[in-house]
C-alpha cells in the first residue's frame, strides 16, 4: 500500500511540473496512474476480508441461532439436539452421527455465565467455548491428556465465563475463564451409541446447567425456554451462504458493527489500520472508496483466499486435516479463515481432528457406486484417547438419502480387526460381507475421519490416514 501511494505521489508531482496543459492532462489520464491509484484498495480489501471473515461468519451464525423460534435459543441457554441428524441434513455441513450436541451463545455484557457439567459416568464428553474470532478460549480436551482415558468421561465441574476485568464473587468451586469477546459460542457434545442410546444421552443433557450468574445463584428468574423443534430455515440460506452473498459494503458494515463488542484477538493495529484506510471504523457507518471495480476485485480475491487450503494444512494420501495450530490461530489469519469456512467450531489439537478426503489413491473422485478399501496397518490405527469414526457424505456435505448410510464405522461400534491386528474399512453403496462395511451414497461423495481426543501424533504430522483404494 505505502509503495503504491508513494509512486502515485511522485507521478503527480512529475505531471504538475511539466509545462503545457495538454501534457498534464495526458499524464494524469494514463492507465498506469489509474491502476496505481486503486491497486492498494484491491489489496487491502482482500487482506481485510480474510482478516474479518471469521467474525462476520460467527455474527451471522449467532443471529440465526439466537431467539425464541423453533430451533433457536435465547442467549445464555442451551439448545439440545434430541435426535441424530436427519437424512439430507446439511446445516451444519458434515453433521456428526457420533454425538448429540447441546449448543448456545453467550452474552457476557451484563454478568458472567455459569456452566455446570454433570458427572458423565464414563461417557465421552467434549465441551468447548469459542470467541467470536473462532479461537478456543476453553475446552475439556486438555483434561484428557496423555495417560488419561477419554472413555472414563468427565467429573462434575463448574466454570464461570467472564468478561475481561470483571470483578465480583463467583459460586464456590467455579473456575474462572475470561472470554475476550462479549459473545461466544458454546458446545457440549455427548457420545451417542445409536438410537437405543438416546435416552441416556438426553438425561445427561438435561443435567447440564448454563445460566447467567444471577439466575444460577437464585437472584433472578431463568429466561423462557424456546419451543422444541428442528432449526428453521434461515432467510437467504445458511449463515455461510449469507456471508458469501454480501457485497463489499454489506460485508464491511457487518464487520464494523461487530468490532466494538468483539475486538480482534490478538490486538492487531496493522489490520485495523487497513480497515481505517478503507473507511471502516468500529461502530460507525462504513465509507468505502468510490472505486467499485477495485472493491469487487478485492472482494473476489478475498473469497478465493478464504477457500484456498493454506500451506500449513496437513495432507497425505488424499486426506487433509488441521495440525497443531488449529483453534489458537494467533496472527495466522489465512488458516483461521479457512478453518471457519470449512469446519466452523473446530476445537484445538487436544479436542478433535477431522480429516476429509474426496479422491481415491489414483486421484479420481470418490463415488459410492464403486467399492473402496481403507487399510489401517496394526501400528497405524487412528491415534486417539477417545474414539474414532469414518462417515460418508454427499459431495455437498449432506447425509445420504440411503437409510443405511446413516451409519459410521469406528472403534466405538466394534470395528473388527484382522488376525494381524490391522483393520479394513470397505466403502460402497452395496453391502459388503467382508471387512467393516461403511454404507455410502451412490453418487460422488466425501469421507470424514473423526478423531475424538486425538493423541499428539495426529496433529504433529507423524501419523497419516491411509489411502482410499478402489477395488
Residue 347's nearest CA partner among 375, 366, 324 is 324
- Give the single-character DSSP code of 357: E
pTM over 0.85: yes
Q: How deeply is 164 buried, as exposed, middle or buried, from its count of CB atoms within 10 A (0-12, 13-18, 19+)?
A: exposed
pLDDT at 335: 98
pLDDT at 416: 93
Interhelix angle 269-277/248-258, nearest 10 degrees: 140
pLDDT at 217: 95
The three-state secondary structure class of 404 is: helix
Q: Rg (Cα) of the chain, in Å, rounded?
A: 25
Contact between 400 and 441 (Cβ < 8 Å): yes
Contact between 140 and 127 (Cβ < 8 Å): yes
User: What is the helix (H) or strand (E) element at residue 160, kind and residue range?
Assistant: strand 157-162
Walk me through the domains of the chain, giving residue ranges and CATH numbers: 2-62+238-307 (no CATH), 70-216 (2.60.40.1610), 314-470 (2.60.120.600)
For the chain, 471 residues long, the average pLDDT of each consecutive 10-residue run is 34 33 32 61 97 98 93 94 75 84 97 97 94 97 58 87 96 97 97 87 96 94 59 64 97 98 92 96 97 97 97 96 96 97 95 97 97 97 95 90 70 90 95 88 95 95 97 93
Cell, residue 327:
483453534
User: What is the helix (H) or strand (E) element at residue 251, kind and residue range?
Assistant: helix 248-258
pLDDT at 87: 65
> Measured between alpha carbons, how far is 57 from 35 in angstroms, rounded to an integer?
31
Give the CA diameter of the chain: 91
> Measured between alpha carbons, how far is 356 from 353 in angstroms, rounded to an integer?
10
Amino acid at each position: 500500500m505505502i509503495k503504491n501511494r508513494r509512486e502515485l505521489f511522485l507521478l503527480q508531482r512529475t505531471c504538475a511540473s511539466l509545462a503545457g496543459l495538454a501534457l498534464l492532462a495526458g499524464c494524469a489520464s494514463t492507465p498506469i496512474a489509474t491502476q496505481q491509484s486503486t491497486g492498494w484498495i484491491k489489496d487491502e480489501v482482500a487482506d481485510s476480508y480474510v482478516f474479518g471473515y471469521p467474525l462476520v461468519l460467527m455474527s451471522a451464525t449467532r443471529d440465526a441461532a439466537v431467539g425464541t423460534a423453533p430451533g433457536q435459543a435465547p442467549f445464555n441457554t442451551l439448545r439440545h439436539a434430541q435426535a441424530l441428524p436427519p437424512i439430507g441434513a446439511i446445516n451444519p455441513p458434515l453433521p456428526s452421527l457420533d454425538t448429540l450436541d447441546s449448543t448456545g451463545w453467550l452474552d457476557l455484557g451484563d454478568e458472567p455465565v455459569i456452566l455446570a457439567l454433570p458427572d458423565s459416568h464414563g461417557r465421552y464428553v467434549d465441551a468447548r467455548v469459542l470467541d467470536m474470532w473462532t479461537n478456543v478460549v476453553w475446552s475439556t480436551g486438555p483434561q484428557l491428556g496423555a495417560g488419561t482415558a477419554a472413555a472414563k468421561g468427565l467429573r462434575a465441574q463448574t466454570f464461570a465465563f467472564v468478561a475481561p476485568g470483571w470483578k465480583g464473587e463467583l459460586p464456590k468451586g467455579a473456575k474462572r475463564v475470561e472470554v475476550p469477546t462479549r459473545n461466544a459460542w458454546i458446545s457440549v457434545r455427548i457420545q451417542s451409541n445409536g438410537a437405543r442410546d438416546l435416552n441416556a444421552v438426553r438425561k445427561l443433557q438435561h443435567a447440564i446447567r448454563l445460566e447467567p450468574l444471577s439466575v444460577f445463584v437464585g437472584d433472578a428468574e431463568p429466561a423462557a425456554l424456546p419451543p422444541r423443534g428442528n432449526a428453521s430455515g434461515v432467510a437467504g440460506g445458511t449463515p455461510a451462504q449469507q456471508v458469501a452473498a454480501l457485497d463489499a459494503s454489506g460485508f464491511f458494515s457487518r464487520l464494523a458493527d461487530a468490532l466494538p463488542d468483539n475486538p480482534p484477538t490478538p490486538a492487531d493495529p496493522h489490520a485495523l489500520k487497513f480497515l481505517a484506510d478503507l473507511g471502516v471504523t468500529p461502530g460507525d457507518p462504513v465509507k468505502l472508496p468510490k472505486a467499485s471495480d477495485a472493491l469487487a476485485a478485492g472482494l473476489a480475491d478475498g473469497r478465493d483466499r478464504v477457500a484456498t487450503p493454506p500451506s500449513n494444512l496437513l495432507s497425505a494420501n488424499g486426506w487433509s486435516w488441521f495440525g497443531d495450530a488449529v483453534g489458537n490461530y494467533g496472527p495466522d489469519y489465512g488458516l483461521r479463515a479457512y478453518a471457519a469456512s470449512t469446519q466452523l467450531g473446530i476445537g484445538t489439537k487436544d479436542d478433535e481432528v477431522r480429516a476429509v478426503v474426496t479422491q481415491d489413491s489414483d486421484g479420481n473422485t470418490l463415488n459410492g457406486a464403486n467399492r473402496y478399501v481403507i487399510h489401517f496397518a496394526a501400528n497405524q490405527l487412528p491415534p486417539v484417547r477417545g474414539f474414532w469414526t469414518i462417515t460418508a457424505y454427499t459431495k455437498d456435505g449432506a447425509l445420504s438419502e440411503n437409510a443405511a448410510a446413516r451409519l459410521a464405522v469406528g472403534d466405538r461400534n466394534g470395528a473388527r480387526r484382522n488376525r494381524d491386528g490391522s483393520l479394513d474399512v470397505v466403502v460402497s453403496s452395496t453391502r459388503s460381507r467382508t471387512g467393516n462395511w461403511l454404507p455410502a451414497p451412490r453418487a460422488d461423495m466425501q469421507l470424514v475421519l473423526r478423531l475424538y481426543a486425538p493423541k499428539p501424533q495426529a496433529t504433529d504430522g507423524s501419523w497419516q490416514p491411509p489411502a482410499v483404494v478402489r477395488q
